[in-house]
Amino acid sequence: MLGLLPLAASAQTQKPNIIWLMADDLGYGDISCYGATRIQTPAIDNVARSGLRFTDMHACASTSTPSRYGILTGEYPFLHPGTDVAAGNAGTIIYPSQFTLADAMKSAGYRTGAFGKWHLGLGSKTGQQDWNKQLDVALDSLGFDYSYIMAATSDRVPCVFIEQGHVANYDPSAPIEVSYRQNFEGEPTGQSNPELLTKLRPSHGHDMSIVNGISRIGYMKGGGSALWRDEDIADSITAHALRWMGEGSKDAPFFMYLCTNDIHVPRMPHERFRGKSPMGLRGEAIFSLDETVGAITHALDSLGIRENTLLIITSDNGPVLDDGYQDNATELAGSHNPSGPFRGGKYSAFEAGSVVPFIVSWPGHVKAGESSALVSQVDAMSTLAHIAGVTLPENAAPSSMNMADTWLGQSSQSRPYAVKMAANHTLVLRKDNWKYISPSNGGPMIPWGPKIETGYLSTPQLFDITKSSYEETSVASQHPDVVTDCQQIINQLKK
């Protein structure tokens, strides 16, 4: 049997391929290797069995744009302007002058590819993109050799894939126009033409342009044959990822940033999953995600590169049931708790907003098991750069630490602390056995639709997480020194 190779020796001889496979809005409790019983995720569980399953991984935020910003730049999103949930016509949020995770991998001799959900802006100026031409800022400016992406989310226009900075399968007979201010004359919307909503109806918001029988956020016109069919999004992303993976030379390693659309709303996975889960479309979307993972591992096996590939599976933020479409996710969840043992969900300052599944697999290098070390996705850049054998430029990845020993299971060392941001910018800190939530304004529940507890309070909150991972009773008044300490760390970071 192959023994575990020490990192230094192995990295010198052969750099591993690295796949960062990230689901959207997948909760800690949504997959069977993290305790779900009402749904089975055999492909993800397989990876978990061969690798290290973390129980205390923190995303940088409880929504997508800031969370992803932290991964790709190694900088806390609250330190950078404009990292709120981005519109589909947002200009680039990461500046081309910034050194990104993809730049780091490229400098290590890697081929770099991005697939699926992007949601970090495209083009140099918000609202000024000409979607019928090559975008002036696309992922090649951010270190990716190849990209096949969705500009934002599947509930936001434009509903087309962007390949190498240009609309994929562009249809010249149907020029594309996008606006987040007003509709285009004569175009139906979910609000004015609900009879055209043949596939899904909104429960809140999402009542603007209609594409594929589903209304979205924002207005778009045109697209023609380039418009996606939601049922095919997962297959399309996976097919492009697999093709790119197989095209590479055997010598150059690759870095693949693979972000699924599953299980974000609108949940409309392929018809082959229909009726397969008692949890309806949300369960089917989890199956679709699992199938993507299976397709990737199968391809790694077929190419004979599984043992030389570091495969990471994670999520960008916590789970949500009703996120704006009438897909019956709430009604059909039954005993399934997508938040697992944690309180809150997507958007929330409570733990379920940002504690996410995190599985690291690299057969022969990462010993299978479980790690309860406190870890953060903001460390992706320093950690993966280290594994790839590159030194980052001085000002790159300012919030990121090299945690390779912990991520690869050679140590159980925790990060000194993890900071994350809730939807209303409330900053949250986890440190030792403490969880701290900064005081903020905002009611106890998300105000616009999802039935999720925010965790916001006008006074500081402190929880002893050894007592219960479910944040029940604040002990802030009993531990004023800890509260001060946590607040000071946050203040220091903000400087």
| Angstrom distance (rounded) from CA 61 to CA 346 | 9
Contact set for Ca ion, span 304-323 (CB under 5 A): 316-317
Q: Is there binding between residue 30 and Ca ion (CB under 5 A)?
A: no
Q: How far is the CB of 264 from Ca ion (least distance, A)?
A: 6
Q: Which of 145, 323, 453, 471 binds ligand NG6 (CB under 6 A)?
A: 323
| Interface with Ca ion in residues 5-24 (CB under 5 A) | 24
Question: How many residues are recorded in the chain?
Answer: 495
Does residue 154 bind Ca ion (CB under 5 A)?
no
For the bound state, the minimum distance from the C-beta of residue 354 to ligand NG6, rounded and expressed in Å, comes to: 12
- Element (H or E) spanning 22, and its range? strand 17-23
Residue 127 CB, shortest distance to ligand NG6, in Å, is: 18
The pairing of strands 254-259 and 111-117 is parallel
**Binding of residue 89 to ligand NG6 (CB under 6 A):** no
CB of 78 to ligand NG6, least distance (A): 15
Tokens 């059909």 identify what position? Answer: 332
What are the CA-CA distances from residue 234 to residues 12, 262, 445 (Å)? 36, 7, 32
Q: Which is nearer to Ca ion, 45 or 316 (CB)?
A: 316
**Binding piece for ligand NG6, criterion CB under 6 A, among 102-110, 157-165, 204-212, 408-416:** 204-212
Q: Residue 282's closest CA among 79, 13, 30, 18?
A: 30
The Cα–Cα gap between 363 and 307 comes to 5
Q: In angstroms, what is the minimal distance from the CB of 205 to ligand NG6?
A: 3
Which of 106, 111, 119, 365 forms a contact with ligand NG6 (CB under 6 A)? Answer: 119
Q: Please say which residue, 26 or 378, places its beta carbon nearer to ligand NG6.
A: 26
Strands 427-431 and 418-421: antiparallel
Q: Which residues 6+ apart lie within 8 Å of 209 measured at CB?
A: 157, 183, 187, 189, 190, 215, 216, 218, 219, 220, 221
Residues of span 231-260 touching ligand NG6 by CB under 6 A: none
Distances (CA, A) of 98 to 74, 129, 397, 401: 10, 21, 9, 17
CA angle 83, 87, 88 (to 5 degrees): 125
Closest residue to ligand NG6, judged by C-beta, is 205
Give yes or no for residue 262 binding ligand NG6 (CB under 6 A).
Answer: no
CA 454 to chain centre: 20
Q: In the structure encoding, which two tokens stand for residue 58, read together? A: 């923190």
Write down the residue that tokens 């790839």 correspond to. 388
25: contact with Ca ion by CB under 5 A: yes
119 binds, among Ca ion, ligand NG6, none (CB under 5 to 8 A by kind): ligand NG6
CB of 155 vs ligand NG6, minimal distance in Å: 5
Closest contact distance (angstroms) between CB of 429 and Ca ion is 21
Stretch that binds ligand NG6, among 189-197, 203-211, 286-294, 305-313 (CB under 6 A): 203-211
64 lines the binding site for ligand NG6 (CB under 6 A): yes
CA distance linking residue 158 with residue 393, whole number of Å:
35
Write the CB contacts of 469 (distance below 8 Å, at least 6 apart in sequence).
341, 342, 351
153 binds, among Ca ion, ligand NG6, none (CB under 5 to 8 A by kind): ligand NG6
CB closer to Ca ion out of 72 and 245: 72
- The partner in contact with residue 95, picked from Ca ion, ligand NG6, none with C-beta cut-offs of 5 to 8 angstroms by kind, is none
DSSP string computed for 57-105: EE-SBSSHHHHHHHHHHSS-GGGSTT-SS--TTPPPSS-TTSPPHHHHH
Instruction: Pick between residue 319 and residue 460 the one whose CB is nearest to ligand NG6.
Output: 319
| 25 part of the interface to ligand NG6, by CB under 6 A | yes
The b/e string for 209-234 (b: 16+ C-beta within 10 A; e otherwise) is bbbbebbbbbbbbbbeebbbebbebb
- Smallest distance from the beta carbon of 39 to Ca ion, in angstroms? 19
> How far apart are CB 407 and ligand NG6 at their closest, in Å?
24
What DSSP letter does each residue of 213-250 carry, written as one string? TEE-BSEEE--GGGB--GGGHHHHHHHHHHHHHHHS-S
> Quick one: what does residue 382 bind among Ca ion, ligand NG6, none, with the CB cut-off 5 to 8 Å set by partner type?
none
The partner in contact with residue 240, picked from ligand NG6, Ca ion, none with C-beta cut-offs of 5 to 8 angstroms by kind, is none
Minimum distance from residue 201 beta carbon to ligand NG6 (Å):
13
DSSP state of 5: P
- Binding residues for Ca ion restricted to 41-100, rule: CB under 5 A: 64
Among 11, 24, 349, 471, binds ligand NG6 (CB under 6 A): 24
Q: How far is the CB of 64 from ligand NG6 (least distance, A)?
A: 3
Residue 8 CA to residue 188 CA, distance in Å, equals: 59
Residue 203 within binding range of ligand NG6, rule CB under 6 A: no
Task: Give, as ranges, the residues between 354 and 383 that touch ligand NG6 (CB under 6 A).
Answer: none
Half-sphere CA count of 207, side-chain side, radius 13 A: 10
Rounded to whole angstroms, how far apart are CA atoms 408 and 367?
8
Residues near Ca ion (CB under 5 A) are 24-25, 64, 316-317
Residues near ligand NG6 (CB under 6 A) are 24-25, 63-64, 85, 119, 153, 155, 204-206, 217, 264-265, 317, 323-324, 448-449
